[in-house]
Structure 1
Amino acid sequence: MIFVIIMACEIGFWVLIALGLAARYVLRRPRLGAVLLILTPVVDLVLLAAAALDLRGGGEASFAHALAAIYLGFSVAYGHRMVRWADVRFAHRFAGGPAPVKLYGRRYAAACWADVLRTALALGIAAGILWLLMLVAADGTDITALEGVFPILGVVFAIELIWAISYTVAPKKAPAHATP
Structure 2
Amino acid sequence: MIFLVVGCEIAFWVLLVTGLATRYLLRARWLSNVLLVSVPMVDVVLLAASVVDLRGGAPATTAHGLAAIYLGVSIAFGNQMIQWADQRFAHRFAGGPVPVKPPKIGRAHAAHERGQWLRHLLAYVLAVAVLVIFTLLVGDLHRTLKLWSVMAPWGIVLAIDFVISFSYTIAPRKRRSN
Same fold (TM over 0.5): yes
**Gap change, CA 1:107 and 1:32, over 3 Å in 2:** farther
Q: Point out where structure 2 has 5 or more consecutive residues left out of the alignment.
A: none
Secondary structure of 1:10's counterpart equals: helix
Pairing 1:1-180 to 2, within 5 Å after superposition:
2-102=1-101, 103-105=103-105, 106-137=107-138, 142-173=143-174
Q: Is the 8 A contact 1:58 1:138 kept in 2?
A: no
Q: Kindly report the root-mean-square deviation, in angstroms, between the aligned alpha carbons of the 2 structures.
A: 2.1
Cα distance, 1:30 vs structure 2: 2.2
Paired AA for residue 90 in structure 1: F
TM-score by length of 2: 0.89
Deviations 1:25-69 (A, max 9, x none): 111122322221111111001101111111111111111110000
Q: Is the 8 A contact 1:61 1:145 kept in 2?
A: yes
Q: Point out where structure 1 has 5 or more consecutive residues left out of the alignment.
A: none
TM-score by length of 1: 0.88
Count of aligned pairs between the two proteins: 176
**Gap change, CA 1:35 and 1:81, over 3 Å in 2:** same
Could you tell me the percent identity over the aligned residues? 48
Larger mean Cα displacement after TM superposition, 74-83 or 146-155: 146-155
Q: Is the 8 A contact 1:76 1:122 kept in 2?
A: yes
Paired AA for residue 156 in structure 2: V
Paired AA for residue 110 in structure 1: A
Looking at structure 2, the residues matched to 92 and 26 of structure 1 have their Cα atoms a distance apart, in angstroms, of 12
Looking at structure 2, the residues matched to 85 and 175 of structure 1 have their Cα atoms a distance apart, in angstroms, of 27
Secondary structure of 1:54's counterpart equals: helix
Cα distance, 1:119 vs structure 2: 1.3
Paired AA for residue 38 in structure 2: L
Larger mean Cα displacement after TM superposition, 147-156 or 84-93: 147-156
